[in-house]
Structure 1
């Protein structure tokens, strides 16, 4: 490589750094060599470089947004075993997977016994929302309440609810596994009221909404919460065998053989 080419590459890297073209800066030599091998025209070269930079930025955005969502594990809609849950209608699954309901601030409630894939679906919808460019935050119901209680104690509840309002999709997992106090119900009501008709919520629960009065410990608050959640909502009931139980039984079968 001639001294002139080295000097030119150095200047290109400096310019890429100044323009924050990180992918181009870090892969300058490889990209130039590939462009030479493919005999790209000037326009084709620019198109190639811009596309690569955009692809890298998009990958970085998805990675950071996924980390910020605090999903408990990695799940995708493509990885959901729809055949194992015949109660879940395939057409509804595909329709929800388009995430058009996010644009109209509608909610989704996933109801069913433990292990049928409710959390998997919720995470899958959240991951898809991130890929489409939306902000997502995942909480277990217990952790969400702990967050809201602390904010209330610190005098920052309004600020915390406003912060959560920035996320296009809020996922509340495992609602109903533990009972809430009337004070807890009031906190959830404030959050749901703030998001009503402006931001979407996904809730997973082992109890149907008709039993949420028992969950919240305050029938009046439960009615108010349900009124806002279910006004623009798709409720999905999933009945079937537990994935975890089925996997464990398969493991036992293999052990006995």
Structure 2
């Protein structure tokens, strides 16, 4: 005859409460040791399952975000990059800018930590279960261009517009021709005052004409990005140089 304990284990597994089933012995011991009521014991068992599912959901959201690496704000060396206001970055991490549908632009030369900070904020967003996605600007343009050729541009624009936070990395590293600039404008226009976007770039806004190949389109893009935006200008040494110096000092 199957014991009551085994039937409970079987029921939990049948209901796909795998973590609750795995933790049953531990929870029973805790209930007994602390003389908990039936309701308190059941609550603890379901809390174990809920915590497990939340953890898995967060991992899934981070994975879907397609981040280039897993780095958080705590991993950023603010002492090495004193031009960055730590308090302001921590405020971004609280994600209030997403509720306000504001944008963030990280502006500075290559290697100063723009992508690290953008990614860290993105990971914080994903952990709060906001639909978040990271993409290089060139890859974004190529996807929109391909979608246009295949007569599915509107669907692709809807896809990128669904993200509560979209991170567009390395804008300006490669030139964008006039027709492709129109595609980029359509995306920015859809997200304008509707969703938040983080952009990293090494080009000052006054020089964006040269990126997009058309001053009218460039001005329209800049206008929509900056209307509700915080611009973080980063100056200083490259992190890659820092790592190189550390290795050099270690070898000396």
TM range (shorter): over 0.9
Q: Distance in 2 between matches of 1:75 and 1:133?
A: 17
Corresponding position: 1:13 with 2:9: yes
Residue correspondence of structure 1 range 30-179 to structure 2 within 5 A: 30-179=26-175
TM-score by length of 1: 0.92
* Residue of structure 2 aligned with 1:29, choices 2, 12, 25: 25
Name the stretch that deviates more: 8-17 or 214-223. 8-17
Unaligned runs of 5+ in 1: none
1:252 partner SS: helix
| 8 A contact 2:61–2:129 mirrored in 1 | no
What's the CA shift for 1:37?
4.0
The 10-residue stretch of structure 1 (48-57 or 195-204) with the greater mean CA deviation from structure 2: 48-57
Separation in 2 of the partners of 1:198 and 1:96? 18
Please name the residue that 1:196 is paired with.
192
Question: Is the Cα–Cα contact under 8 Å of residues 9 and 28 in structure 1 kept in the other structure?
Answer: no
In the TM superposition, residue 235 of structure 1 has moved relative to its aligned partner by 0.4
Please report the RMSD computed on the Cα atoms of aligned residues, expressed in angstroms: 1.7
CA distance in 1, matches of 2:241, 2:233: 19
Partner of 1:206: 202
- 1-side partners of 2:54 and 2:93: how far apart? 21
**2-side partners of 1:71 and 1:112: how far apart?**
20
1:216 aligns to 2:204 (yes or no):
no
Runs (4 or more) in structure 1 with deviation over 6 Å come to none
CA displacement at 1:98 relative to structure 2: 1.5
- In 1, distance between residues paired with 2:249 and 2:124? 36
1:173/1:204 contact within 8 Å kept:
yes
CA-CA distance at 1:251 after TM superposition: 0.9
The range that moved more, 78-87 or 7-16, is 7-16
Alpha-carbon deviation of 1:208? 1.6
2:230 to 221, 228, 234: 234
C-alpha displacement of 1:211: 1.3
Moved more, 189-198 or 15-24: 15-24
Output the CA distance in 2 between the equivalents of 1:97 and 1:64: 19
How far did 1:55 drift? 1.0
User: What TM-score do you get using the length of structure 2 for normalisation?
Assistant: 0.94
- Offset of residue 132 of structure 1: 1.5
Residue pair 1:66, 1:127 contacting (<8 A) in 2 also: yes
